[in-house]
């Protein structure tokens, strides 16, 4: 048996977004959700380091409040972490467009951000994924962009919550543009490097890949060389990407290859 929101990963994937599933997400929830009437945007107010440090808390909850605390987590690299297909405790008392039962009727998205000065502005890749993700969910449900609210707009009494820190009307305008088809198509990472004379284009690698090219990569990022792209290699890639100001998604595409090459030959 699984809860109602099992359609979320497919919808997000077809919007060109990165999606990662937590264990047993289909069965997770405080019972099932009701009819979905919108999407509520949050930020986690979690730690500053890492891609999605709050994921454990979102799944398991915290002292005094059992998880799941949202349906979707959004990492700093724009990856959606699917936490639960059932009801989550994310909304609390509040009201948006007449809906007061937020946990029952809203999908909650918790984006990783401290909510403090040390984490502003939000990464472009995360904001872009936030807008596209919300638009994809609303599009699937046949709801307009106005069905998306910030937790700070929903929560009552007003001022009880400050999340998310970004401007919600501008965010909704962006969502409306995607829903209306006037926004540009999502930019996907190419499958391999562009063909250049005298060089074999290297394939884009991500977790799960194996082979000689992975071993090369592991040497470049200083991970244990075993030819298998696992969680530790991915974490090393993310660290390297952060150092160079790339999107720290652990996916080794053309840009990351280029940067890793430059790093390995400092004299060149």
- Determine if 57 is a binding residue for another protein (CB under 8 A): yes
CB of 157 to another protein, least distance (A): 7
d(CA 7, CA 150): 23
Please tell me whether residue 151 adopts helix, strand or coil conformation: helix
Which of these ranges, 134-142, 176-184, 244-252, 256-264, lies near another protein under the rule CB under 8 A?
244-252
- Determine if 128 is a binding residue for another protein (CB under 8 A): no
- Determine if 93 is a binding residue for another protein (CB under 8 A): yes
Count, residues in the chain: 268
- Determine if 234 is a binding residue for another protein (CB under 8 A): yes
CB of 173 to another protein, least distance (A): 24
- Determine if 27 is a binding residue for another protein (CB under 8 A): no
Binds another protein by CB under 8 A, chosen from 36, 240, 250, 257: 250
Asked if residues 178 and 135 have their Cβ atoms less than 8 Å apart, the reply is yes
Q: How many residues bind another protein (CB under 8 A)?
A: 83
- Determine if 139 is a binding residue for another protein (CB under 8 A): no
- Determine if 121 is a binding residue for another protein (CB under 8 A): no
Which of these ranges, 136-144, 213-221, 247-255, 258-266, lies near another protein under the rule CB under 8 A?
247-255
Q: Which residues, numbered 170-229, are part of the site for another protein (CB under 8 A)?
A: 188-191, 204, 206-208
Q: Find all residues with CB under 8 Å of 166, minimum gap 6, and list them.
A: 122, 127
Peptide bond into 30 cis (omega under 30): no
- Determine if 100 is a binding residue for another protein (CB under 8 A): yes
- Determine if 45 is a binding residue for another protein (CB under 8 A): yes
Residue with tokens 């009701």: 34
Is the CB of 56 or the CB of 264 nearer to another protein?
A: 56
CB of 234 to another protein, least distance (A): 7
Alpha carbon of residue 70 to chain centroid: 13
Q: Which residues, numbered 7-26, are part of the site for another protein (CB under 8 A)?
A: 12-13, 16-23
Asked if residues 18 and 27 have their Cβ atoms less than 8 Å apart, the reply is no
Give the angle subtended at the CA of 75 by the CAs of 185 and 207, to the nearest 5°.
85
Asked if residues 167 and 111 have their Cβ atoms less than 8 Å apart, the reply is no
How far, CA to CA in Å, does 192 sit from each of 189, 255, 260, 264?
Answer: 8, 10, 15, 20
Phi then psi dihedrals of residue 99, to 5 deg: -90, 120
- Determine if 149 is a binding residue for another protein (CB under 8 A): no
Half-sphere exposure of 67 (CA within 13 A, CB side): 23
Is the CB of 176 or the CB of 248 nearer to another protein?
A: 248
Which of these ranges, 72-80, 136-144, 213-221, 260-268, lies near another protein under the rule CB under 8 A?
72-80
């Amino acid at each position: 048996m699984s809860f109602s929101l099992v359609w979320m990963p497919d919808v997000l994937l077809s919007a060109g977004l990165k999606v990662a599933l937590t264990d047993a997400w289909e069965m997770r929830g405080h019972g099932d959700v009701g009819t979905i009437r919108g999407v509520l945007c949050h930020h986690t107010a979690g730690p500053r380091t890492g891609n999605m440090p709050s994921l454990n808390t979102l799944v398991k909850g915290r002292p005094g409040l059992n998880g799941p605390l949202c349906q979707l987590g959004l990492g700093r690299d724009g990856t959606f972490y699917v936490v639960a297909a059932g009801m989550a405790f994310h909304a609390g008392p509040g009201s948006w467009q007449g809906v007061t039962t937020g946990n029952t009727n809203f999908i909650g998205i918790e984006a990783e951000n401290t909510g403090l000065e040390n984490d502003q502005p939000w990464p472009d890749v995360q904001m872009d994924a936030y807008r596209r993700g919300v638009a994809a969910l609303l599009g699937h449900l046949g709801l307009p962009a106005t069905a998306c609210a910030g937790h700070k707009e929903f929560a009552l009494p007003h001022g009880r919550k400050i999340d998310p820190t970004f401007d919600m009307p501008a965010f909704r305008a962006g969502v409306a543009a995607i829903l209306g088809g006037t926004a540009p198509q999502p930019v996907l990472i190419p499958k391999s490097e562009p063909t250049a004379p005298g060089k074999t284009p290297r394939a884009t690698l991500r977790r799960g890949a194996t082979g000689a090219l992975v071993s090369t990569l592991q040497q470049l990022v200083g991970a244990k060389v075993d030819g298998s792209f696992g969680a530790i290699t991915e974490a090393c890639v993310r660290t390297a990407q952060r150092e160079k100001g790339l999107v720290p998604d652990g996916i080794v595409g053309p840009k990351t290859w280029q940067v890793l090459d430059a790093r390995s030959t400092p004299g060149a």
